[in-house]
Structures are given as C-alpha cells and as structure tokens.
Homo-oligomer: A and B are copies of this chain.
Amino acid sequence: LERDKYENNEVAGVVTGLAWTSVGGDILFIESILSKGKGSLNITGNLGKVMKESATIAMEYIKANADKWGIQPDIFEKYNVHIHVPEGATPKDGPSAGITMLTSLVSLFTQKRVKKSLAMTGEITLRGKVLPVGGIKEKILAAKRARIKEIILCEDNRKDIEEIKQEYLKGLTFHYVTEMSEVIDIAVTDQNVKNPKKL
C-alpha cells in the first residue's frame, strides 16, 4: 500500500513523524482533536506502552508549561484530547514520536498551522530536552520518498546524518535541536489553521 505522502497543513494537530518499523523506515501522521469534556486523554493507533507514555509526557509537559505558548490553562479541564496514529493494522511503539506528539498538541491547543513539508523524530523528556533516537538512515530515506523537505532531529543525531551519503540528503534541510521549545519554534507557525476552533 502506497499511502504515505506528505499532506497539507490545514488541520490543527496533524504532524508528520518518522518511524522505523519492522519493514524499514516510514512516515506516520500524528493526529489529535479536542472534544468538550473534563480533561481525559484518549490514545489510539495500535500503540505499545512506551509510545502511549510519550503522549502522556507531551500532554503533561504542555500543561506544566502552558504559558510558554499562550495556552489558557483552563482549556485542559474543559476538553478531552484524543491522539491517534493512523494505520491501525501496524503495531507501533518506542519513544521516537515524542516531539511529533508534542508538536501535534501545541498545534491543537493554539489552533496554529504546522510548517509545511516538515517531518521530525525525537524522544521527549519532562525537563524539556530532546533525546536522540535510532533508525535515522531508514527514516531519512522514507522522508524523501514522501516528499518531505525539512526534518527536525536531536543535536545528538547529527552524527547519524553525517554518516549518510550526500546524494541521499539532497533537497533536505535539517534542524538539530536540544530543547523541546526549539521544536515548537520551528514547527508551529503563527498562521491559524482553516476554520480554527475558538477555545
């Protein structure tokens, strides 16, 4: 099935991640939506324990640092959040979708567009650091196949990129980060999504 290509950025909460599955590198989408509720967090997509934990960490980090992005803290109590990773037939796990989930939620809570043609991979922490992840080469190849133009990685993954032949990297721009706030600075634009929700 050839269904993984970059889509547009009209919808809040949709972010492109890079994954390393049993069949090689792949892109995946992180999606999130809000519905009126009491602050529950729903996570789907045939995810393992560690990937579900990433969603919790992203959520708690945003709650604890809401003012960084101008998010009203009472939003967290008035809405339920649902995070989904499509392609339910494929089991997914590991911490590398952390920064993608973080970006998805910040886009959701701010109703701002995510930068176009951007993908990312990196583990998140509660102290605000981005950690390096594995499978970089396979992920980069998948990103190219999907027409991705820019990629966010942990600074500690720079050496993995430097080991890849130059010709495979043509047309790709890399952003190396150490802080989670840098991810948001790069990934979340100032433009509203189409039909933004009033939160």
Convert A108-130 into 0s and 1s, putting 1 for each residue whose CB lies closer than 8 angstroms to a CB of B: 00000000000000010111110
Q: List 9 A-B contacts (CB under 8 A).
A: A3-B131, A13-B126, A34-B64, A50-B89, A54-B88, A57-B82, A57-B84, A82-B126, A86-B125
A73 at the interface (CB under 8 A from B): yes
**Which A residues have a C-beta under 8 Å from some C-beta of B?**
1-3, 7, 11, 13-14, 29, 31-36, 42, 44-46, 49-50, 53-54, 56-57, 60-61, 63-64, 73, 76, 80, 82, 84, 86-89, 94-95, 98, 123, 125-129, 131-134, 156
Q: Secondary structure at chain A's binding surface: helix, strand, loop or mixed? A: mixed
* CB–CB A88/B94 < 8 A: yes
Of all chain B residues, which has the CB nearest A123? B88
Residues of B within 8 A of A76 (CB): 35-36
Minimum CB–CB distance from A81 to chain B (whole Å) comes to 9
Alpha-carbon gap, A33 to B127, bound state (A):
8
Alpha-carbon gap, A128 to B32, bound state (A):
11
Total copies of the chain: 6
Of all chain B residues, which has the CB nearest A55? B44
Of all chain B residues, which has the CB nearest A46? B50
* CB–CB B131/A87 < 8 A: yes
Minimum CB–CB distance from A163 to chain B (whole Å) comes to 14
* CB–CB B46/A63 < 8 A: no
* CB–CB A33/B11 < 8 A: no
